[in-house]
């Protein structure tokens, strides 16, 4: 597993500080807001929920997560809630903790934890309506919103860190940019077929992308965005992106971003654009956000986050808004529980 070396590192993106190894146990009891400074931790608990009213074209702060964390994953589930899953505050074992946000009440609540802690992994809602946690080991778990239970499903082909996931239009789950502990980092694309319950290897990306983001576009292609080439993600960030076509099992370059970034979060918005949110650029977490339109192959700078974030997670809610949560801000110890929402 990962060990702390005070560098920036990514799963769905994370910022790594001085930490021990993955204990593989439920770390919910060590959650809270203990990963931030004492004053920030107190604020995470005591601050009342802020105004959650939508403002188009602007990021607005909403209720904080109960647990400050980086290296988490997030997904919008069929019950209309946003699930924040796993992560770490670098003070103990990785979190198995899961919390759910209700946009209608602007409030978070605890839900059942995973069987073991995870960091630097992906989360995705598949065509069967379940939420899948993929990466940080070869173990994959699926959460049923209806029964509020986690169960183990078919394992990855190899233990992988730094996984970014997306649900394809073909109903399959795609896991990209992983670090296979036996064969190196950044190239892989693994595909899970729900019907046969099998993982298979697909064509690898053309560029090594540690800390990549993966998003399914409205055109049916999978977009691999940013990441870091041949080094820890915190040492830089790629501007480039490439698109995978499932029918031909092939990758092709697309337009580059304006800002290179790794440890970013990315989602497909309700307007058909793909949003690249925050991340690390030249070793520094950034606030910048840009949106990609597949039909024109162009990136456009949009409103910046209120806080710089790296190692955070993002998800689109049933309300059509984009949620960015957690991550690291100015340093490896500055881990936040704050959440921002953007209305396209």
pLDDT single digits (tens) 208-219: 888 899 999 999
Beta bridge partners of 167: 173
Range list of β-strands (E), 25-121? 59-62, 73-76, 82-85, 98-102, 107-111
Pairing type for strands 274-277 and 164-167 reads unpaired
Contact between 188 and 239 under an 8 Å Cβ cutoff? The reply is: no
**From the centroid of its chain, how far is CA 147?**
24
Q: Distance between CA atoms of 320 and 56, rounded to whole angstroms? A: 11
Q: Which domains does the chain have, with CATH numbers?
A: 8-342 (2.120.10.80)
Q: Distance between CA atoms of 231 and 257, rounded to whole angstroms? A: 20
State the average pLDDT over residues 245-271. 97
Share of the chain above pLDDT 70, in %: 79
- Among the residue ranges 66-75, 161-170, 283-292, the one predicted with the least confidence is 161-170
**pLDDT for the residue 235:** 58
In the structure encoding, which two tokens stand for residue 32, read together? 């809270």
Residue, of 183 and 106, whose pLDDT is higher: 106
State the average pLDDT over residues 143-150. 97
Cβ count near 247 (within 10 Å): 8
**pLDDT for the residue 161:** 65
Beta bridge partners of 176: 164, 189
Contact between 156 and 176 under an 8 Å Cβ cutoff? The reply is: no
**pLDDT for the residue 210:** 85
Token pair 């689109």: residue: 316
User: Is the predicted pLDDT of residue 343 greater than 70, yes or no?
Assistant: yes
User: Is the predicted pLDDT of residue 1 greater than 50, yes or no?
Assistant: no
**pLDDT for the residue 249:** 98
In the structure encoding, which two tokens stand for residue 251, read together? 């990758």
User: Is the predicted pLDDT of residue 23 greater than 70, yes or no?
Assistant: no
State the average pLDDT over residues 245-267. 97
pTM for the model stands at 0.85
User: Is the predicted pLDDT of residue 5 greater than 60, yes or no?
Assistant: no
Q: For 209, how many CA atoms within 13 A lie in the half-sphere containing its CB?
A: 31
Q: Distance between CA atoms of 317 and 10, rounded to whole angstroms? A: 23
User: Is the predicted pLDDT of residue 83 greater than 90, yes or no?
Assistant: yes
State the average pLDDT over residues 275-297. 96
52: region left, alpha or beta (phi > 0 left; psi from -120 to 50 alpha)? alpha
- Among the residue ranges 37-51, 92-106, 186-200, the one predicted with the least confidence is 37-51
Q: Distance between CA atoms of 284 and 261, rounded to whole angstroms? A: 9
State the average pLDDT over residues 274-280. 97
DSSP string for residues in 3-42:
---S-EETTTTEE--S------S--GGG-TTTTS-HHHHH
pLDDT band at residue 240 under the 50/70/90 scheme: very high
Residue, of 12 and 297, whose pLDDT is higher: 297
Q: What is the pLDDT of residues 224-237, one digit of tens each?
A: 999 987 655 455 69
């Amino acid at each position: 597993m990962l060990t702390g070396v005070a560098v920036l590192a990514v799963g769905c993106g994370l910022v790594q500080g001085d930490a021990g190894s993955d204990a593989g146990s439920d770390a919910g009891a060590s959650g809270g807001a203990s990963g931030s400074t004492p004053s920030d931790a107190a604020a995470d608990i005591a601050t009342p929920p802020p105004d959650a009213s939508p403002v188009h074209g602007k990021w607005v702060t909403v209720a904080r997560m109960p647990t400050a964390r980086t290296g988490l994953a997030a997904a919008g589930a069929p019950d209309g809630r946003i699930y924040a899953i796993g992560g770490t505050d670098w003070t103990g074992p990785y979190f198995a903790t899961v919390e759910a946000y209700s946009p209608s009440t602007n409030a978070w609540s605890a839900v059942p934890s995973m069987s073991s802690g995870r960091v630097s992994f992906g989360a995705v809602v598949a065509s069967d309506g379940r939420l899948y946690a993929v990466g940080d080991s070869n173990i994959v778990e699926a959460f049923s919103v209806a029964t509020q239970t986690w169960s183990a499903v078919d394992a990855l082909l190899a233990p992988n860190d730094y996984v970014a996931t997306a649900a394809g239009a073909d109903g399959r789950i795609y896991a990209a940019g992983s670090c296979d502990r036996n064969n190196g980092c950044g190239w892989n694309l693994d595909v899970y077929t729900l019907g046969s319950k099998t993982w298979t290897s697909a064509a690898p990306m053309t560029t090594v992308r540690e800390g990549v983001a993966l998003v399914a576009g409205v055109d049916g292609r999978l977009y691999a965005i940013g990441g870091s080439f041949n080094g820890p993600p915190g040492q830089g960030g790629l501007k480039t992106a490439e698109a995978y076509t499932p029918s031909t099992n092939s990758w092709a370059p697309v337009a580059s971003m304006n800002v290179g970034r790794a440890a970013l979060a990315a989602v497909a918005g309700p307007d058909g654009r793909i949003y690249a949110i925050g991340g690390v650029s030249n070793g520094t977490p950034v606030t910048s956000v840009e949106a990609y339109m597949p039909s024109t192959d162009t990136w456009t700078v949009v409103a910046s986050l209120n806080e710089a974030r790296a190692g955070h997670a993002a998800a689109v809610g049933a309300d059509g808004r984009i949620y960015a949560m957690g991550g690291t801000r100015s340093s490896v110890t500055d881990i936040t529980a704050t959440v921002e929402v953007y209305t396209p």
